[in-house]
Structure 1
């Protein structure tokens, strides 16, 4: 009997149209930025959570529209005279909306998987957890919408609640994050309430995951909110306070258990993502496991750079490894991190990832690799323009041709680089090698003074 009623709900209610709208909107938005997740399962799961900024209000509005069905049909008094408890009568409608909300959330992710599978080499289990919490949040949104539609069966209720949900889930956290970032305490002092929204503001980077603690608290909180929504939808008037209790208690507990700092604080480095995957058919070239699909794209330019350095530079590196450093907006400890990069290793930055999951280079990749050889793991502190320009000169010397203009350079900067290159090549071969080798070793120790001195090699 229950299965038959559920099938009727799926055929005649707005549950299926809600799923179609969620799937269409989610897929359209997701496919506009495939470079954000191509080749990476965790980033696809994160992209799904970002999509909740649009999907959560739509699901809430769909629940409101479905919840006002009895009032719209004017059958409330008729159903009140039946002996069957209301909570039993509303279960099929709630189940139909929940199934369709989860399906509407899963379909865009399945479409996005077509951009992940061909170049992915790492599937973290946490990606399933992150996606499951997103699906659970839509169930909570739908059931809250059912309760709101029953309580306020007005035509304007759905759009008003959708706008309010968008503001509360996206605009307000973004405003609070921006406000915290300019305060004395920084983002670490952003309120823990930011993690109550399933929409990821400042999502984790490629080598990160969400901590188990945050996932667990969010899942329990959303389950409590969903339970309260269902109870409110099925409760009689005298039971409304008791029906709201799970959400109230869970919210109070979550605010205590969740860390401050928002999603930036909820992220942690994933050891599996930063593990090395190497091509050893020649000089070893390694990338992080989360970027395993990039290995065929970076191997050739990295080996070419290693060969050029071996031909001209004493003590040249014997292997190339992708850096595990996180971008400045994701790394909480970048300012405090500083280390010595091994002289035998060329550590290069993660290349840009294109819409199909392959590496994209704004400049010649060999030159980019050679410049990376003159940079150490020195945190995200400010870097002088002279040091950046000197790397261009050093890379040009290794290639044996004048420096290529930088993307941000002007005519004066280009002239400075050309003059430095000509002065360097006028020195004796031994002096050239000595200056460039000293500049590299000092840069690996985070001392860029000898590197900047390459702009004036005649006085070094």
Structure 2
């Protein structure tokens, strides 16, 4: 008897496990044009900021203004162009009729394409802004970070991206994106910097200075103004009931009226701009604006030679001051009214010797006088040489020597240097009694 070979029982097909449905935004957010657009925003803004880093790095207000200007002038046109290119994609691919048959509504389909791009644009700007803040953090000279403006700028870039998406769908031509970017750049520049009166407040660019801060409601109003216009354009293009666009457009109109009506009230004085910190151990005292309080030790050290030589001299100003406006009658302006990028770069004095010389010139107070008497010119030169000589003094001396005019200046310097301590203090006291007087009748001769 033969045994029949047993057949293996057929295995049951394994039931497929239900996979986790992927969100429709994932494909747009991970692949395609949106990540490249975010990278382009980051690269453009970071490059522009790095090229001008000496003009803002180290000052929080300067960093805020530079990042804001760069984001609006470069970021907004780039976001509009990116959105426009993305919006015209269906027409270029000839898939409009196919997408029209999809189960999703027109608004949902629009947002599935527009939101990933807008978020990537905002992410690129955010990365550039964070890099700028970190670059200022390690060499900040005082003050504190200003975060309201960068947050508002991120919302403005999102609005620009959405508006560009609508423009790309309405006018799906290859030249629409670059032309829209150029028009936005020119329009923002003209409206923001032109003589448009209160209408310039409608531009996200705005105008300001490091001694001012935006009013607390201004960033919110700007976001509502730009966001309302973008949302109105989206709803007018995608919603079944286009009357829904009136809601965001009404909010934008209210915000626009507030911005225009505010006039010059959009900005107020920086809370630290009218304060200063002083070192009272020197003569004259040395004060710096409270926004740059960490610079005080460097400024004091740079002026130490000058202040030591003025110890015991009468009629000198009480202090070097660093406040907006003209100094008081017993004060002299510190040569540091706009330090970032000039006398100060990345939290350090660029040339302490030149800074001390400029302070000495401010101290004598005759920088705007013309046709001074020869003995006054020689006295000014001798005092300058004694207190803090110019880094270019040798060049000036060579030029005067070529004209045969240097010998009287050399004798005057030698005469002041050869005086005894008490005699020199008395002479300097008489000299500073006539400071600021262009007639300079009381200046003693050398």
User: Is it true that 1:107 corresponds to 2:111 in the alignment?
Assistant: no
Which of 38, 41, 44 matches 1:19? 38
Corresponding residue number in structure 1 for 2:323: 324
The CA distance in 2 between the partners of 1:41 and 1:391, in whole Å, is 42
Which of 351, 355, 366 matches 2:356? 366
Corresponding residue number in structure 1 for 2:304: 303
Corresponding residue number in structure 2 for 1:98: 118
Task: For residue 6 of structure 1, report the CA deviation from its aligned partner.
Answer: 2.5
User: Is it true that 1:435 corresponds to 2:430 in the alignment?
Assistant: yes
Q: Alignment partner of 1:373: what SS?
A: helix
Name the CA shift for 1:80/1:268 in 2 (closer, same or farther; >3 Å): same
Task: For residue 217 of structure 1, report the CA deviation from its aligned partner.
Answer: 3.1
The CA distance in 1 between the partners of 2:247 and 2:21, in whole Å, is 23
The CA distance in 2 between the partners of 1:226 and 1:274, in whole Å, is 39
Task: For residue 94 of structure 1, report the CA deviation from its aligned partner.
Answer: 2.9
The CA distance in 1 between the partners of 2:61 and 2:45, in whole Å, is 17
Corresponding residue number in structure 2 for 1:270: 270
Task: For residue 208 of structure 1, report the CA deviation from its aligned partner.
Answer: 2.5
Deviates more, 1:35-44 or 1:79-88: 79-88
Corresponding residue number in structure 1 for 2:5: none
The CA distance in 2 between the partners of 1:392 and 1:149, in whole Å, is 71
User: Is it true that 1:257 corresponds to 2:277 in the alignment?
Assistant: no
Corresponding residue number in structure 1 for 2:293: 292
Task: For residue 321 of structure 1, report the CA deviation from its aligned partner.
Answer: 4.4
Corresponding residue number in structure 2 for 1:331: none
How high is the TM-score relative to the length of structure 2? 0.77
User: Is it true that 1:223 corresponds to 2:243 in the alignment?
Assistant: no
Corresponding residue number in structure 1 for 2:16: none
Q: Alignment partner of 2:85: what SS?
A: helix
CA contact (8 A) 1:90 1:233 kept: no
Task: For residue 358 of structure 1, report the CA deviation from its aligned partner.
Answer: 1.5
Residues 41-52 of structure 1: matches in 2 within 5 Å?
A: 41-51=60-70, 52=72
Task: For residue 269 of structure 1, report the CA deviation from its aligned partner.
Answer: 2.5
* Runs of 5+ consecutive residues of structure 2 not aligned to the other structure: 1-19
Q: Alignment partner of 1:219: what SS?
A: helix
Task: Please identify the structure whose Cα radius of gyration is greater.
Answer: 2
How high is the TM-score relative to the length of structure 1? 0.75
Corresponding residue number in structure 2 for 1:397: 383
* Runs of 5+ consecutive residues of structure 1 not aligned to the other structure: 178-189, 326-336, 377-381
The CA distance in 1 between the partners of 2:116 and 2:21, in whole Å, is 11
Aligned length: 411
Deviates more, 1:248-257 or 1:95-104: 248-257
The CA distance in 1 between the partners of 2:405 and 2:214, in whole Å, is 46
Corresponding residue number in structure 2 for 1:130: 149
After superposition, the C-alpha distances for 1:413-453 in whole angstroms (9 at most, x for unaligned) are 9988974785695897577334312123xx3xxxx335x55
- By percentage of residues, which structure has more helix? 1
